[in-house]
Amino acid sequence: MTQPDTSTAPVPSPTSTWQDALKRLAADQVTVRAGGGAKAQQRQHEKNRLTARERIRQLIDNGSPFDELMTFAGWEMYQDIGGCPSGGTVTGIGQIGGRPWMVIANDATVKAGAFFPITAKKVIRAQTIALENRLPVVYLVDSAGVYLPMQDEIFPDQDDFGRVFYLNARMSARGIPQIAAIMGNCVAGGAYLPVMCDTLIMTEGSGLYLAGPALVKAAIGQVVDSEDLGGAGMHASIAGTVDYREPDDEAALIRIRALADLYAQGNLAPFARRRKETVAAPERDLTDLVGFDGSKTYDVRELITALVDGGEFHEFKPEYGETLVCGFARAGGYPVAFVANQRTVIRKKLKAGGEPGLRTRIEVGGVIYGDSADKAARFILDANQAGVPLVFLSDVTGFMVGRDSEQEGIIRRGAKLVNAVSNSVVPKITIITGGSFGAGNYAMNGKAYAPRFLFAWPSAKYAVMSGNAAAKTLMDIQLAALKRAGHQPDDEELTRLYDEVKAKYDTELDPRYAAARLWVDEIIEPNDTRERLIRALEACAQNPEQEEFRVGVFQV
């Protein structure tokens, strides 16, 4: 598995501080949330329409938070065509009538709300979150359809545009409420989404049709205006497609709130039925505890106690497998089970090797050893037996390598942990607080292991190996290729090549790079972690169903 990088960490640069990182995050969020910019927002207002985020603010309960998800979708992608801020759509969970709803809103200020490849993937991820957690959904539709120049990347594959309607139908079949409001354009294949919902609302001046007036004329020679072809009046009185016809955005949003408030509340998840009154956590500035650049050691127990009710944490096997910390607690009154990478340096007691007494060795924090893999796998079984959600605090370098580790069965024991994570049936939430490298990412419930939610701090680094290790490896590969071609680079060229490789890899390590591609659901500030965790648990609590826990062939 992945070799941990145990080299001395570089001295932090003046910009490698939490203060600068959080300032940059806030500035980047402002940029992304501006969508297509001030002029595009003005054009939307001139049509007597609100922007996507204005609509959401009016939709959710007054004063309640909106937990936006995938804000950085598309970050620095599609630059040659002007970019696609936030993937051209806004998604997140907000309270409507005191109940959490997933909201999916097209941002018409970005290429008229057209679907880019990342847009489809973002909507699919939001629908998947809603499906897994049985969250009701509101769609605020204002989209010109597929961005045609990229149709080959949007239209045909399993997780492309068609999957949106597939999930639309699957959620309906499972009784998950879906309300759609057409508040602008809704054309071509995109027209199926709102019509497949429980309830369809449409505002005056909007258009709903498989083909717009220009395409109809080109296809069949028929000349027809937008209102006769697919206006709100036609769909309300002639086609019968629309359930509620409203004069404007404000009226449509009021109607959604009224209808949403009528839906029956389903049963809660078994773990949520054991919820107790929330107890405040000990006050702690998490940016003081956890260093930004990973060079600072810290005891992850202190992080856990800062996240849980009353700081009360029941640690599982605290003296065994110490590079992973496991245990039970409550957050927001909900029972939770933590699996967390320990980041202190540990002196490990070993079995006697022929000499009397015990020997010791130093274990590096953030590295998963055989005994810690065994412990975490067993703990995950306990959490599933108890029906308690799992929370992974991921700051992992990788699995330990070397002769001793191989002889101790690291591959077999690591496979056992990956099996337990893969087959776990309780809700899983992952928070990446630092490194998330290689197979350690898998063991700590990375994106491939179906977390209900996956959050990252601005300090998160997400890659197959750490930056220094990767740069050295890639440099060796490039150098070997140059030598095979008969070129022997001098010291100056070697330095330049290394700097180029390192700069590229460092860019890919940035959490925005991961968030742009939806490898994480949202970048959050460390001191917001407890509240985001509690609201994520509240979302998970809406699904009362839990599969039977089975692990198949389990290594021993």
Which pLDDT tens digit goes with each residue over 220-253? 888 988 888 999 999 999 999 999 999 999 999 9
Residue 11 pLDDT class (50, 70, 90 cuts): very low
pLDDT for res 335 = 98
pLDDT of residue 167: 96
Q: By CB neighbour count within 10 A (0-12 exposed, 13-18 middle, 19+ buried), where does 218 fall?
A: exposed
Contacts of 116 (CB under 8 A, 6+ apart): 74, 78, 84, 87, 88, 147, 150, 154
**546, 426 contact by CB (below 8 A):** yes
Closest CA relative to residue 84, chosen from 108, 68, 50: 108
Beta bridge partners of 200: 180
Rounded CA-CA distance 336/206 in Å is 46
Query: What's the whole-number average pLDDT of the chain?
Result: 90
Q: Whole-prediction pTM value?
A: 0.91
Residue 310 has pLDDT above 80, yes or no: yes
Q: Give 196-216 pLDDT, tens digit per residue.
A: 999 999 999 999 998 888 888
d(CA 255, CA 62): 16
Tens-digit pLDDT profile for residues 505-543: 778 889 999 999 999 999 999 999 999 999 999 999 999
pLDDT at residue 352 in the model: 64
Give me 144's structure tokens.
Answer: 């010109």
| Cβ(205)–Cβ(48) below 8 Å | yes
Please give the DSSP secondary-structure letter assigned to residue 492.
Answer: H
pLDDT in tens, 12-59: 343 469 999 999 999 999 999 999 999 999 999 999 999 999 999 999
Task: State residue 469's pLDDT score.
Answer: 67
**How far is it, in rounded angstroms, from Cα 188 to Cα 354?**
76
Residue 422 neighbours by CB distance under 10 Å? 15
Three-class secondary structure of residue 246 per DSSP: strand
How big is the chain by its Cα radius of gyration, in Å? 26
- Residue 227, classified by CB atoms within 10 Å of its CB into exposed (0-12), middle (13-18) or buried (19+), is middle
Give the pLDDT score at 358: 61
| Reported confidence tier of residue 347, pLDDT bands at 50, 70, 90 | confident
Amino acid identity for residue 120 in this structure: A
490 vs 170 pLDDT, higher one: 170
Report the range of poorest mean pLDDT among 31-35, 208-212, 398-402, 495-499: 495-499
Average confidence (pLDDT) over 116-136? 97
Q: What is the pLDDT of residues 407-421, one digit of tens each?
A: 888 999 999 999 999
How far apart, in whole angstroms, are the C-alpha atoms of residue 101 and residue 334?
19
pLDDT(193) > 70: yes
- Scored b (16 or more CB within 10 A) or e, 459-479 reads bbbbbebbbbbbbbebbeebb
Taking only the tens place, the pLDDT of each residue in 350-386 is: 776 655 556 788 888 899 999 999 999 999 999 999 9
Tokens of 457: 């701090």
Q: Which of the 8 DSSP states describes residue 460? A: -
**What is the mean predicted confidence (pLDDT) over 186-191?**
81
H or E element: which one contains 245? strand 244-246
The neighbour count for residue 309, using CB atoms within 10 Å, is: 21
Q: Determine the Cα–Cα distance for residues 140 and 297; give it in Å rounded to an integer.
A: 46
64-73 per-residue burial string, b: 16 or more CB within 10 A, e: under 16: eebbbbbbbb
**Regarding predicted confidence, which is higher, 10 or 111?**
111
Terminal CA-CA length for the chain? 18
Contact 367/398 with Cβ under 8 angstroms?
yes
Give just the sign of the alpha carbon dihedral 539, 168, 35, 230.
negative
Residue 427 to residue 433: CA distance in whole angstroms = 19
